[in-house]
Amino acid sequence: MFLAIDVGNTNIVLGVFKGDELISSSRIFTRKDALADEYAVLFNDMLRIEGIDPHNVNGCVISSVVPKLTNRLAEAVEKISSAKPIVVAAGLKTGINIMIDDPAQLGSDMVANAAGAVARYPLPVIIIDLGTAMTFSVIDEARTFVGGVITAGVRTALDGLTDRTSQLPDINIEAPAGVVGKNTVDCMKSGIVFGAASLIDGMIERISEEKGKAFTVVATGGMSRYIIPQCKSRISVDADLMLYGLLEIFKRNS
């Protein structure tokens, strides 16, 4: 079995594959102060809850945007399985060409998403990842990562709004009944949800105009299920895109 680990600033996602089939996906909070032994216990327990014996895991790839945790998580995997984890970094075979000013600066999450999208969707493709940050990755017909866009994520934007304004409450992220709100909460929901959806629609339009072509568009990340239904563009939602990307990277490097 193969274990894919996506380490984000907010959550860590564990995906287990049997061949090409994703048989388990689970999520835990990212604890930046936790030790390798603590993560070993967490990983062991999460896998066993899913009915998976960790000793049957013989391959693992880790994508991490939290550098201080990367080695600890690799050590945790080695403690509970027979896998020696591969960490997504410069020099790995990914199936994509990275044509930006400094390829080493490209986040491992964007690399993994790109690898998954190239394997699963028609090219060219725009990948939108709605996580702590909202990122747009642009891949052309030749499997080349030509660039992208980074902005604040939906929850990050909301937290910034409520932290810096004394009278605005924290709210649930959900679409209100209409764009024009009649109370503070609905006004905020409109700004956060419809505002993010409009940003996405606008960026897709701008990217398409700049590149002079139509793109397949796929969205992933925890906020995608709240925001993408409110977009006017045609966008596929693939919650497990990064996990499949890590599987593709494993196949190319094992």
Condensed to tens digits (0 to 9), the pLDDT of residues 157-213 reads 999 999 988 889 999 999 999 999 999 999 999 999 999 999 999 999 999 999 999
Percent of the chain at pLDDT > 70 equals: 100
Residue ranges covered by each domain of the chain = 2-87, 97-244
Yes or no: say if 52 and 16 are a contact pair by the CB < 8 Å rule.
yes
Same fold, 2-87 and 97-244: yes
* Residues 65-82 pLDDT 10s: 999 999 999 999 999 999
**Helix, strand or coil, per DSSP, at residue 141:** coil
CA 95 to chain centre: 18
- Catalytic (active site) residue 240: no
Q: What is the pLDDT of residue 254?
A: 83
The residues, ordered by sequence, that sit 6+ positions from 164 with a Cβ below 8 Å of its Cβ are: none
What 8-state DSSP symbol labels residue 150? E
Q: What is the pLDDT of residue 91?
A: 86
Q: What is the pLDDT of residue 175?
A: 95
Q: Provide the token pair at 170.
A: 């924290």
Asked if CATH classification 3.90.650.10 holds for the domain at 97-244, the reply, yes or no, is: no
Q: What is the pLDDT of residue 104?
A: 87
pLDDT over 90 (residue 137): yes
User: What value, to the nearest 5°, has the Cα angle with vertex 76 and ends 72 and 82?
Assistant: 135
Catalytic residue among 109, 159, 163, 238: 109
Question: For the residues 232-237, what does the mean pLDDT come to?
Answer: 97
What 8-state DSSP symbol labels residue 100? S
* Residues 6-39 pLDDT 10s: 999 889 999 999 999 999 999 999 999 999 999 9
Please state, in angstroms and rounded to a whole number, the distance separating the CA atoms of residues 236 and 216.
Answer: 8
* Residues 85-109 pLDDT 10s: 999 998 899 999 999 999 988 999 9
The predicted model scores a pTM of 0.91
Tell me the average pLDDT of the chain.
95
Superfamily of the domain at 2-87: ATPase, nucleotide binding domain (3.30.420.40)
Question: For the residues 137-147, what does the mean pLDDT come to?
Answer: 97
| Rg of the chain taking only CA atoms, in angstroms | 19
Percent of the chain at pLDDT > 90 equals: 93
pLDDT over 90 (residue 54): yes
Question: For the residues 150-156, what does the mean pLDDT come to?
Answer: 94
